[in-house]
Structures are given as structure tokens and as C-alpha cells.
């Protein structure tokens, strides 16, 4: 297991290049962050951050099925710039800009500054990056932290500082999403291979690395000690039981995902050639290394590890693999360092030509994720795309503040509507996966983990324990809408197909 070493100190021109890349990407991802249609999961991530600013605790006070760090990160823009979708999204844009800057620094020693800039262009324009990394989800922060860890561990000279920082950033990656802990053995193996590059004992190498790693895991340790059962259910237990597929069905679905990633199966959600090009290039790197009987570079192993980790969850979603793309770029381009040095006048124009070719679907993807919503996950139809724009969501929040008294609990079917309001979700409605989680549990466990079953909600409606219900019109269907109508919950206000239903002052007609 080898890697191209990063110089202990980059040249001034390389550092200035990285700063320029960061600035350009910050402008690009900042614009995308404000235009990108809201993703469903962003609602519960940001509402969790909102609850933290009000003194609530993850897991023990509300259901939050992820690692603990992300909502604490998003308390920063809420406290500094005010609680809003815009402040959260602009904060999100920082992470892919950082990732692009680090990617540039990592590529310069192998393919030079201009080639590295082209590599960053691949990163910034990929449908696996620009629609996902500048959103308030785990993708952007986790990869910024992971690339930082990789950067420090691949320095030409390992020092106590670089070892500590590598461990710290790897731990922060795990703090955002727990399954990244599966990369720890790879990093430890790499440290063992490079142990002679540290001027000290082997034991010292691992001590400094683990000091950083454990320090960044303190939030995990705190919440585990606070309530081990709640920590287990929110981070692992819920995810282990959320799929109803059989083994053969799961295997079939994962095969379809692999076909989409490799370009062998069309997908409206992920049109384009960039990921498939680098994935097949990555396979070529592995085969070439095998024929040469040489170990691939370390970025190759990181990409392999991420690929395995992303195929483990059930269900597996294509967008999970967006976190692999920066390491596919690294593995392919770092493996081309011999070609780039021997024939730079051929290599650079060639990759630039490939980049231009890869932009074939870029405009269509940009329009879909910022305007039409066609095929975008979480947007059921193009007609509803407008209702996932940040301007629309801010308008809903503003009206809710004037329509509903401060502190009033609202049974919201998607917590994203409450961002920037003085309202609180009815207990159990802090997360739109509450019904999926509640169906796994008995009554006592549901109370402990703050989740609900549909029959409990119907009972709350019939007993008038819910004052307001908020959600898309399409969510008011089946038993829920019948129970609401039966008990006199009428539409008080509507924003397009988003409805706020409240108890009517008039008794409902008997039917």
C-alpha cells in the first residue's frame, strides 16, 4: 500500500492556487446552495440543529437517526446568521469548497497545477457532487473531513502534528456519519506501512493518531454514556431494521445500483458520464497494479473501502456513492503521474478534452436540481418543484409565525417547514421517519425513542390532542385524512399544495 507523498510544505504558488480554487468553488457552490431544491432529509437535519439551539439533546429528547456531529455544526450558522434555510445552505457551501482546495493540493505533485485544476473541474461539475455536497446533509462535511485526514496522513514526513490532525479529521468524519469508522483499519494499515517515515517509535505513531481520533469522538462517547440504548437505536438499531427486502431482493437492488454507477443502466436522477469514466479508470488502475505486481496507491484503497461501506446499508441509494468520487479522481490521476511527467503536452489536453466531453448532461442536471425537479429524489412531480425552493419554504415559515402562536406544537409531516419559526413540532414529529421507526417498536420503546405509529396519531387526532397538522396535500390521505375530516380539522391556510389544518370552531357534520 503506497501513496504519492505530499511535500512537507507546499510551494507558495501551489498554496495560492489552492486559495484561488477555494474562492472560485465557494462562489460556485454558494450559488448552487441557494438555488438547489430542498432535499427531504435536510428538513430533519436542520430541525435537529434548531432544537439544539433551544436546549434539547439528541437521542434522549427526540429521534435523530444519525451520528451526532452534523446538527451541532449547523447550530453555527443559526447562531451567527439567524435560523433560516439560506444561512444553513451558505454554510454548507464551505465544505465542498474546502474539499476542492484539498483535492487540488493532493493532485499537484502528480499531474501539475493545470492538470489539478482540470481535476477540480471534474469534481465541481459532477452530478454526484454539485447537487449533494452544498446541501445540509452529511455528504459535504464528511468528505471535507476525510480529505483533510488523507492530506495529513500522506505528508512526506509524518510528525506528531500531522498524525494528530489526520486522526482528528478521521474522527470528525465518523462524527458526521458513523459507518465511516470502517475506514479506520485502512488508515492504521497505512500508518504501519509508513512507520519508518516517523522519527520515533512505532508506538508513538499510533498514540498521536489515536489521540486525535479519540478526541473527535467525544460526542459519540458522551451520548453513549448518557443513554446507551438510545444511542444504539438511533445510530444502528433503526437502520438495521428499516428494510423489508429479502436477501435476493436486496442483492438485485444493489446490482441495479452498480449498473447505474458503471454507466450500464440509465438513471434520470444521475445522468452523465463522469462517475462511470472514473470508475472504469479506477478498475483499470487496479488491474494494471495487479499485472505489475505492485500495490495500488492509498487513495485506491480508500475508494475501495468507501465502495464496500456504501453497499452495506439496506436500502442502498445511488447518491451514497457521491462520497467516493473525489477518491476516484485521486486514484486515477495520481496513478497517471508517470504519464503526466513524461508527456505533459499530451496528457493535459487529453484530460481537458475528456472533461469537455463529460459536460454533455451538465446543463440538464443543473436545471433539474435547481428548477424543474424532474427525477429528483424527494420531489414527486415537476409541479411540486416550486414548493421545494428556499424562497417558498421561507415564505411558509414567515406565514406560520403570524398564523400560529409562539410555542404552539405543530404535527408537521415534514419538519423542514418549521425552520426559522417560533413553533415546535408535536413530540414524535421531529423527524419525518417517525412512522417507519415506530413500526419496528413496541409501545414502551416508542415512548423511549420518541417515535410514533400511525394508529397513535389517529388516536391523538380523535382525542383532540393535536391542535395543528402541517404537510403536503398528498400526505393527507388514507386513514389520516379520514380521521382529520371526521374530527373537524379544516384547512386554515394553504401554500400551493402545502396545507395547515386546524380544528374547526364549528362541530363537524355527522356522516
Q: For each of the chain's 511 residues, which pLDDT tens digit applies?
A: 555 555 556 788 899 999 999 999 999 999 999 999 999 999 999 999 999 999 999 999 999 999 999 999 999 999 999 999 999 999 999 999 999 999 999 999 999 999 999 999 999 999 999 999 999 999 999 999 999 999 999 988 889 999 999 999 999 999 999 999 999 999 999 999 988 877 777 889 999 999 999 999 999 999 999 999 999 999 999 988 776 677 788 889 899 999 999 998 887 678 788 999 999 999 999 999 899 888 889 999 999 999 999 998 888 889 999 999 999 999 999 998 878 777 878 888 999 999 999 998 999 999 999 999 998 888 888 889 999 999 999 999 999 999 999 989 999 999 999 999 999 999 999 999 999 999 989 999 999 999 999 999 999 999 999 999 999 998 888 999 999 999 999 999 999 999 999 987 665 554 4
Cα-based angle 451, 453, 455 (whole degrees, multiple of 5): 145
Phi-psi region of 407 (alpha: psi -120 to 50; beta: other; left: phi over 0): left
Q: What pLDDT does residue 224 have?
A: 97
Q: CA–CA distance from 366 to each of 129, 155, 268, 317 (Å)?
A: 11, 36, 13, 20
- Give yes or no for a contact between 84 and 33, defined as CB atoms under 8 angstroms apart: no
Angle, vertex CA 34, rays to CA 32 and CA 39, nearest 5: 85
**pLDDT tens sequence across 76-122:** 999 999 999 999 999 999 999 999 999 999 999 999 999 999 999 99
Closest CA to 88 of 55, 50, 62, 61: 50
Does a cis peptide bond (omega within 30 degrees of 0) precede residue 315? Answer: yes
Q: Where are the domains of the chain?
A: 12-372, 389-503
Angle (nearest 5°) at CA 99 between 93 and 101: 105
3-state secondary structure of 6: strand
Residue 334 near residue 110, CB atoms below 8 Å: yes
Which set of grid coordinates corresponds to residue 57?
Answer: 439533546
Q: For residue 490, list its beta bridge partners.
A: 502
Residues in a beta bridge with 409? 424
Torsions phi, psi for 244 (to 5 deg)? -100, 10
- Classify burial at 478, counting beta carbons within 10 Å of its beta carbon; exposed 0-12, middle 13-18, buried 19 or more: exposed
Q: What is the rounded CA–CA span in Å between residue 389 and residue 124?
A: 22
Q: Angle 103-187-125 (CA atoms, 0-180°, nearest 5)?
A: 25
Angle, CA of 412, 493 and 40, to the nearest 5°: 35
Cα–Cα distance measured from residue 331 to residue 3, given in angstroms and rounded to the nearest whole number:
10
Q: HEC profile for 365-424?
A: HHHHHHHHCCCCCCCCCHHHHHHHCHHHHHHHHHHHHHHCCCCCEEEECCHHHHCCCCCE
* Alpha-carbon separation of residue 425 from 48, 266, 392 (angstroms): 11, 39, 20
Measured in whole angstroms, how far is the alpha carbon of residue 431 from the centre of its chain?
16
Residue with cell 465511516: 180
Query: In the beta sheet, which residues pair with residue 489?
Result: 503
Give every strand in the sheet of 489-495, ordered side by side. 424-425, 409-412, 468-472, 498-503, 489-495
For 379-427, write each residue's pLDDT tens digit.
888 889 999 999 999 999 999 999 999 989 999 999 999 999 999 999 9
Distances (CA, A) of 490 to 27, 429, 463: 44, 20, 16
Residue 6 confidence (pLDDT): 57
Q: Please list the residues that pair with 471 across neighbouring strands.
A: 499
The pLDDT of residue 9 is 61
Q: How far is CA 335 from the centre of its chain?
A: 28
Contacts 24+ apart (CB under 8 A), 445-452: 445/233, 448/229, 448/230, 449/63, 449/230, 449/233, 449/234, 450/61, 450/62, 450/63, 451/63, 452/428
DSSP conformation class of 313 = S
| Beta-carbon contacts of residue 226 (< 8 Å; ≥ 6 apart) | 57, 59, 60
What pLDDT, on a 0 to 100 scale, did the predictor assign at position 49?
Answer: 98
**Cα three-residue angle 12-14-18, rounded to 5 degrees:** 115
Q: Which three cell numbers stand for residue 284?
A: 483499470
Give the three-class secondary structure for 73.
helix
Residue with cell 419496528: 440
- CB under 8 Å to 338, separation ≥6 — which residues? none
Amino acid at each position: 500500500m503506497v501513496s504519492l507523498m505530499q511535500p512537507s510544505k507546499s510551494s507558495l504558488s501551489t498554496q495560492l492556487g489552492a486559495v484561488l480554487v477555494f474562492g472560485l468553488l465557494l462562489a460556485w457552490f454558494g450559488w448552487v446552495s441557494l438555488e438547489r431544491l430542498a432535499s427531504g432529509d435536510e428538513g430533519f437535519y436542520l430541525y435537529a440543529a434548531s432544537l439544539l439551539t433551544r436546549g434539547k439533546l439528541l437521542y434522549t429528547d427526540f429521534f435523530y437517526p444519525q451520528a451526532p456531529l452534523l446538527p451541532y455544526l449547523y447550530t453555527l450558522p443559526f447562531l451567527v446568521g439567524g435560523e433560516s434555510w439560506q444561512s444553513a445552505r451558505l454554510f454548507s457551501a464551505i465544505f465542498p469548497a474546502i474539499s476542492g482546495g484539498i483535492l487540488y493540493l493532493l493532485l499537484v505533485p502528480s499531474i501539475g497545477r493545470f492538470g489539478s485544476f482540470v481535476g477540480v473541474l471534474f469534481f465541481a461539475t459532477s452530478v454526484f457532487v454539485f447537487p449533494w455536497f452544498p446541501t445540509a446533509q452529511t455528504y459535504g462535511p464528511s468528505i471535507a473531513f476525510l480529505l483533510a485526514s488523507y492530506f495529513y496522513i500522506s505528508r512526506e514526513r509524518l510528525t506528531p502534528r500531522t498524525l494528530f490532525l489526520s486522526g482528528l479529521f478521521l474522527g470528525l468524519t465518523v462524527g458526521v456519519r458513523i459507518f465511516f469508522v470502517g475506514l479506520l483499519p485502512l488508515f492504521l494499515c497505512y500508518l504501519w506501512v509508513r512507520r519508518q517515515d516517523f522519527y520515533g517509535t512505532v508506538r508513538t505513531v499510533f498514540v498521536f493518531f489515536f489521540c486525535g481520533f479519540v478526541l473527535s469522538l467525544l460526542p459519540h462517547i458522551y451520548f453513549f454514556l448518557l443513554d446507551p440504548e438510545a444511542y444504539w437505536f438511533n445510530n444502528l438499531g433503526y437502520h438495521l431494521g428499516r428494510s423489508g427486502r429479502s436477501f435476493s431482493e436486496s442483492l438485485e437492488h444493489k446490482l441495479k445500483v452498480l449498473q447505474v454507477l458503471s454507466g450500464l443502466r440509465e438513471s434520470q436522477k444521475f445522468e452523465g458520464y463522469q462517475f462511470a469514466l472514473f470508475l472504469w479508470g479506477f478498475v483499470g488502475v487496479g488491474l494494471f497494479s495487479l499485472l505489475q505486481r505492485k500495490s495500488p496507491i492509498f487513495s485506491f484503497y480508500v475508494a475501495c473501502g468507501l465502495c464496500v461501506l456504501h453497499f452495506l446499508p439496506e436500502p442502498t441509494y445511488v447518491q451514497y456513492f457521491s462520497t467516493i468520487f473525489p477518491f476516484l479522481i485521486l486514484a486515477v490521476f495520481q496513478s497517471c503521474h508517470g504519464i503526466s511527467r513524461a508527456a505533459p503536452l499530451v496528457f493535459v489536453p487529453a484530460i481537458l478534452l475528456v472533461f469537455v466531453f463529460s459536460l454533455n448532461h451538465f446543463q440538464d442536471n443543473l436545471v433539474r436540481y435547481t428548477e424543474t425537479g424532474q427525477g429528483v429524489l424527494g420531489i414527486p412531480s415537476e409541479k411540486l418543484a416550486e414548493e421545494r425552493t428556499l424562497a417558498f419554504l421561507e415564505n411558509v415559515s414567515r406565514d406560520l409565525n403570524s398564523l400560529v402562536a409562539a410555542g404552539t406544537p405543530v404535527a408537521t409531516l415534514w419538519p423542514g417547514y418549521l425552520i426559522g419559526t417560533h413553533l415546535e413540532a408535536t413530540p414524535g414529529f421531529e423527524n419525518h421517519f417517525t412512522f417507519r421507526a415506530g413500526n419496528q417498536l413496541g409501545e414502551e420503546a416508542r415512548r423511549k425513542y420518541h417515535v410514533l405509529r400511525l394508529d397513535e396519531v389517529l388516536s391523538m387526532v380523535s382525542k383532540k390532542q393535536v391542535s395543528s397538522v402541517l404537510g403536503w396535500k398528498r400526505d393527507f390521505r388514507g386513514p389520516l385524512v379520514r380521521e382529520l375530516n371526521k374530527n373537524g380539522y379544516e384547512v386554515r391556510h394553504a401554500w400551493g399544495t402545502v396545507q395547515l389544518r386546524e380544528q374547526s370552531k364549528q362541530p363537524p357534520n355527522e356522516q
